[in-house]
Amino acid sequence: MDLHVRYEGDDDPKKCTARRLAKFDLVTLHRSARATPRGIVLDPYAEQALSPADRTEADALVALDCSWETAEEEAFRLSGPHRALPFLVAANPVNYGTPFQLNTVEAFAGALCILGEREQAETVLSKFRWGHTFLELNAEPLGRYAAADDSAEVVAIQQEYLDAGADGADGEDASDGA
């Protein structure tokens, strides 16, 4: 599956996973929305969750690499079906253990696993010391999401994880902000 990044360049170049993937020719960076090819857009603000059923939509994934302050506006400019990733936990050193706070390579890897491209997910993660940890932390949910029939089933599975987190929060609602 082709991987494309709409790249803003507004983060620390030394920590940018998209730039590192481009260095190894695993993704193509694009500086404008018009130059970015059509594909499944990984959009945290999308109304529909990514599922295996989306595999027929496109042969490319598009991620947006920019600050969270401009993400919603920039994602809107990308063409293709927009899909949100379900509950997954970050393994990167900046957001380790934080749900829904994935960096670009983690977003690609999660999406690739859900779409049945596990080997490619392992390849992109292999460029990072902590990459294998992402697959280990998320092994169960990724396997379940990949076996789902559609977005509705992915959302139902996700809800189980969110409910389990809320139950373990000593009475606090752990799903706030999710």
Query: Which residues belong to the annotated binding site?
Result: 17, 64, 85, 104
CB-based contact 104:5 (threshold 8 Å):
yes
Which residues fall in the annotated binding site for S-adenosyl-L-methionine?
17, 64, 85, 104
Sheet holding 82-83, edge to edge: 28-30, 2-7, 60-65, 40-42, 82-83
Q: Contact at 8 Å (CB) between 162 and 156? A: no
12-33 burial code (b ≥16 CB/10 A, e <16): eeeebbbbbbbeeebbbbbeee
As beta bridge partners, residue 84 has 49
